[in-house]
Amino acid sequence: MIDPLNIGLVVLIVGLAVWIILARDAFSAVVAFIAYGLLLTLVWAQLQGIDVALTEAAIGGGLTGALLIGAASRLKRTENAVSAEQPGIALKWLAAGLSTAVTLVLAICVLALPDPAPSLADAVAANIGSTGVGNPITAVLLAFRAMDTLLEAVVLVFALIGVWSLTPDRFWAGRPGLKQSADPNGVLAYIARVLPPIGLVVGLYIFWVGADYPGGKFQGATILAAMWLLVIMAGLADAPAIDRGLLRFSLVLGPLAFIGIGVLGVAVAGDFLAYPVEYAKPLILVIEFALMPTLTLILGLLLLGAPQRAVES
Amino acid sequence: MMTVASVFGLCAAALIGLGLFGLITHPQPLRKILAFNVIGSGVFLLFGAIAYRGAGAGMAADPVPQALLITGIVVAFSATALAVAVLLRLHEETGSASLTAEAADKRSGGGQDA
């Protein structure tokens, strides 16, 4: 009944989670977190969520892992001092009791889920024809629940504004991250020359097939962002200064196009973000093409963080 | 009867508990961010197990929760990036990464140089 593979996956994942929480130094906790993200990708495949698996591998394990590794290495010197500030034993027991209670209540809920399970799959199947796309997840993201995706794009822009506003005054309008100086004849620079053309094709392919098969703009944008970051980290190109007009325009282009089409829907189809049936597919494509550069840039820039260099250095 | 959905649902419950414990007890902010991400992935996994139970109409799982999960993973990344940026700025200003009240007093007193 239960696949031994699934049991093995659960054991590994819970074990890695224990390691993430209890590991002595932050660096090994982050490394465990990346392995944990990759194992979760297998779980998503088991749960028939190939689109989610792609997103988890690209963003949950990949981008988040890279972000946290960078932070862990910069905070390494503070680690011992802060680790000494352990909470009292009473608080630890209280936390353990609370966590166990939360887990138990959730476990009871999991075992008591209603049968048959409520599902919107029938509603999606009945209406997917009117959107012109074949992948039900893309139909949900860009037609049935387009409002969520719009707000998500806005959240990304706000997060980047938040990160940039943490720039110290003296570095304002500078370039994010430190200047990279990899060996121009080294392996990193070599890979940064060879891999991006392949990554570009793979990223655009995943973006394009998202209409009908697993894939889509988030997964594609993450791959493109990774290629961009690779080129930056190998020192072959520098990150853009954050006061560049063109950059800022590209960052809001996606959400603005999305909002524009939403407002158009009020006039043409009678509601915000409603599409006229015969133009649904082209409008969805316009939104995706406008969001793609925005998502790629924001994902890359969020990873690079706030500027750490003055304008000309 | 244990199904695939309940196996991973129980796994999700364990992850949420573990993450909550780490979030409360760990003194390092970076480890709190990691623990928060463990809670987040547990919540996503729970939702994914529920989506798997909602298979129907020729689809292997309910696509609506799965689409919301993709949105959730991306939003979780942006929140993590913002939290890390705040933490790095704290470190840059104070030379420390402590969240305790004593460290905050020292900072407002100006007794600590960056």
**Residue B55 neighbours by CB distance under 10 Å:** 16
Chain mean pLDDT for chain A: 88
Chain A residue numbers with beta carbons less than 8 Å from the beta carbon of B26 are 21
Cβ(A47)–Cβ(B12) below 8 Å: no
Looking at this protein, which amino acid is placed at residue A273?
L
pTM: 0.90
> Does the structure show a pLDDT above 80 at B8?
yes
Chain A residue numbers with beta carbons less than 8 Å from the beta carbon of B98 are 78, 81-82, 85
Q: What is the C-alpha separation between B84 and A212, in angstroms, rounded?
A: 36
Q: What is the C-alpha separation between A174 and A249, in angstroms, rounded?
A: 17
Q: Which of B73, B28, B24 is nearest to B47 (CA)?
A: B73
Q: Is the dihedral of CA A36, A96, B76, A158 positive or negative?
A: negative
**Residue A304 neighbours by CB distance under 10 Å:** 23
Mark yes or no for CB contact A13/B26 under 8 Å: no
Residue A313: the pLDDT is: 47
Mark yes or no for CB contact B55/A125 under 8 Å: no
pLDDT classification of A270: cutoffs 50, 70, 90: confident
What CATH topology corresponds to B4-109? Helix Hairpins (1.10.287)
Q: What is the DSSP letter of A215?
A: -
> Does the structure show a pLDDT above 60 at B110?
no
Token pair for residue A255?
């959400």
Token pair for residue B63?
């696509």
Q: What is the C-alpha separation between A193 and A76, in angstroms, rounded?
A: 31
What are the tens digits of pLDDT across the range A203-251?
Answer: 999 999 988 888 888 889 999 999 999 999 888 888 888 888 899 999 9
Beta bridge partners of A177: A307
Mark yes or no for CB contact B48/A49 under 8 Å: yes
Nearest Cα of chain A lies from the Cα of B65 at a distance, in angstroms, of 9
Residue A119: the pLDDT is: 84
Residue B108: the pLDDT is: 59
User: CA–CA distance from A100 to each of A34, A94, A96 (Å)?
Assistant: 25, 10, 6
Say if the ipTM goes beyond 0.85: yes
Domain segments of chain B as ranges: 4-109
Q: Which of B18, B103, A100 is nearest to B26 (CA)?
A: B18
Please confirm whether the linkage preceding A116 is cis (ω < 30° from 0): yes
Cβ within 8 Å of residue A132, ≥6 positions away: A280, A281, A284
Token pair for residue B52?
């798997």
Q: What is the C-alpha separation between A85 and A67, in angstroms, rounded?
A: 25
Nearest Cα of chain A lies from the Cα of B107 at a distance, in angstroms, of 15
What are the tens digits of pLDDT across the range B31-44?
Answer: 999 999 999 999 99
Cβ(B63)–Cβ(A136) below 8 Å: yes
> Does the structure show a pLDDT above 80 at A265?
yes
